[in-house]
Structure 1
Amino acid sequence: MDSLIEWNGGKSMTCTDKQGMTMDLAWGGEGVSPVTATLHSCGACSLIDVIVGLKNREVESASVSLDLERSDTNPKVFTKIHMVYRVSGNDLPEKLVNRLVQQSHEKYCTVSNMIKHTAEITWEAIVE
């Protein structure tokens, strides 16, 4: 078993992976929804690639914000995602950060590479 999803009653569920790590999800405004968790996962997966790629650099902070558009009809799949990366620290060449983001979306980030089949993913990187 790679994943177990258990309903907790009401609008809440707990997800458990094969290592026993858990994450709570919900719906109807009761917590983070599965759709929102997917969007968060897209950003987190790609941001990990950027941070790992900057392994020997002095990164002080890193974030990515995502703006989402979805289809108006069911299934309301993602149709557009715009991601804005902000990275600050010492000795962080803008060219390197841009290359890491690009490689993340072209090669490494599993989540964005699944989503890009239904959504146009655009991005920009700001090095501060």
Structure 2
Amino acid sequence: MRGIAYIIAVIAAVGIMIGIGSLPVDSTPANDGLGSAEAAVVTQVAAMAESGTLTLSVPEMMCPFSCYPRVKKTLEGTALVTSVELAPQKVEGEIDNRQVIVNYDAGFKLDDALEMLKEEGFNKNEMVQ
């Protein structure tokens, strides 16, 4: 009888270890060394309170025929993004301004959008304005 109890305990311990090991690790400090006012701005950027427009820099977006459509499709697949447009370019048919204009609804999470772009291979993205 004790043997069965020990086996169950071992199985439970292994399950707990696997569960803890699969949790994501947040290696960034709580406020990245920012003051409380700056940390509040970062928090506000993470979940937009109102609908609006922002510009994202996507330095790895090189061409209007493959890269831009992937960026557009990825961002428009993000919850609460209403549209994505390529920022004005100097030369038609080329991307010389690697920015997109994102229109979003209230509740949009910038972090989620940037993470989806990373998953598509666009790693060095940031909000311009």
How does the TM-score come out when normalised to structure 2? Answer: 0.35
| Structure with greater Cα Rg | 2
* Higher normalized contact order (CA 8 Å, seq sep 6+, divided by chain length): 2
* Structure having the larger proportion of residues in strand: 1
